[in-house]
Amino acid sequence: MRKINKIIVHSSATRPSQDIGVEEIRDWHIKGNGWSDIGYHFVIRRDGTRELGRDIALSGAHCKNQNSRSLGICLVGGVTEEDVKIGENNFTDAQFKELQTLLKQLLTEYPNIVRIAGHRDFANKACPCFDVQGFCEKHEICVADR
């Protein structure tokens, strides 16, 4: 088993009206990027449904220089309805509730996790269009408390 020490949260950079999931993103990543599979390990749809993406035993393809030791979570949404170049925190309450549940579960399953961050913490991007560390603090999801 690979050593996982980070969780990185992303957005799909899709409009709030787009209800997509693992299969659509997998298609984009394989056909559009030439990758072997979807880059994320988990996708959280607009209704809060969690879908499994890439096998956790395999490195993701979601954050340059961070993939080998991280898990990638993607929330569907993250850009305005009018312009996909404008990032927006438009995630649903159901998505945030499932993100909270998933993060707590992963911290229990992977005791070596030392950081939960947004993609924007590693790249010059807006993704996921909200402060992941602030979200974790608000919901008492702390890596230091374990």
Q: How confident is the model at residue 26 (pLDDT cuts 50, 70, 90)?
A: very high
What percentage of the chain has pLDDT greater than the value 70?
98
Catalytic, out of 6, 29, 62, 119: 119
CA distance 100 to 73: 12
Q: How confident is the model at residue 65 (pLDDT cuts 50, 70, 90)?
A: very high
* In the predicted structure, residue 145 carries a pLDDT above the cut 90: no
Q: How far apart are the first and last CA of the chain?
A: 21
Catalytic, out of 6, 10, 29, 41: 10
Residue 109, domain member (yes or no): yes
Domain range enclosing 26: 6-138
Q: Is residue 64 among the annotated active site residues?
A: no
Give residue 1's pLDDT.
73
Q: Is residue 129 among the annotated active site residues?
A: no
Q: Is residue 63 among the annotated active site residues?
A: no
Q: Return the CATH number at 48.
A: 3.40.80.10
Average pLDDT of 13-27?
97
Catalytic, out of 40, 63, 129, 136: 40
Alpha helices, H only, 65-123: 93-109
Count Cβ atoms below 10 Å from residue 143 Cβ, excluding itself.
Answer: 17
Number of folded domains that form the chain = 1
Q: Is residue 104 among the annotated active site residues?
A: no
* In the predicted structure, residue 6 carries a pLDDT above the cut 90: yes
pTM metric for this prediction:
0.96
Least confident stretch, 1-5, 57-61, 107-111:
1-5
Q: Is residue 41 among the annotated active site residues?
A: no
Residue 105, domain member (yes or no): yes
Q: How confident is the model at residue 2 (pLDDT cuts 50, 70, 90)?
A: confident
Catalytic, out of 63, 74, 127, 136: 127
CA distance 110 to 124: 28
CA distance 33 to 22: 15
